[in-house]
Amino acid sequence: MEALTRIVHRANGQPYCITECRPAEGWLQTTWLGFVTPADAEQGALAALQPLCQGPVAGLLNDNSQIKGPWFDSITWLKHVWAPQAERLGLRYIAHVAQPHTEDDMEALFERNPFGQSIDLQVFTLPEDAAAWLRDCLHHHAQPAEAPPSNPAKPQVTST
């Protein structure tokens, strides 16, 4: 089955948020590009939640490695607006690839998981590490007798 893609563009036509349903992997992948304003981030994050895959999707690989400039830091908006919608769609695991050189800021910001017990969040520096963690989580999710390989109370930053 082929990946389905949704692209959110700026007024000038330039893409800044690309979301793909990756059925072979079992997750959504959102890639952010260039300079992203808070309004762009909200619009792109909400667009990423619009049904793109058939059926619920438990994983999201959120890749900020190509963002330039300040990153979107509205934890309050994510917690109170975005997360409830994500939960309703079945999202359980977020593998967040941090913007380069912001790993320490991300770890401090996400010291306590803003999503509580409902969504496991881990922060990574490399997309391939994020994908490996997400694969493990989804494997464990499919086999509920095993615990997922994460600590939902405190997200981790993984560097290699």
- Model confidence pLDDT, tens digit, residues 22-56: 988 889 999 999 999 888 999 999 999 887 777 78
SS (H, E, C) 107-126: HHHCCCCCCCCCCEEEEECC
Backbone dihedral angles phi then psi of residue 30, each to the nearest 5 degrees: -110, 125
Domain of residue 12, residue span? 4-158
For residue 63, what is the domain's CATH number? 3.30.750.24
Residue 153 has pLDDT above 50, yes or no: no
Can you give the pLDDT at residue 151?
Answer: 45
pTM: 0.81
Number of domains comprising the chain:
1
CA–CA separation, 59 and 93 (whole Å)? 5
| Contact by Cβ (8 Å): 45, 6 | no
CA–CA separation, 37 and 73 (whole Å)? 10
Can you give the pLDDT at residue 53?
Answer: 77
| Contact by Cβ (8 Å): 149, 137 | yes
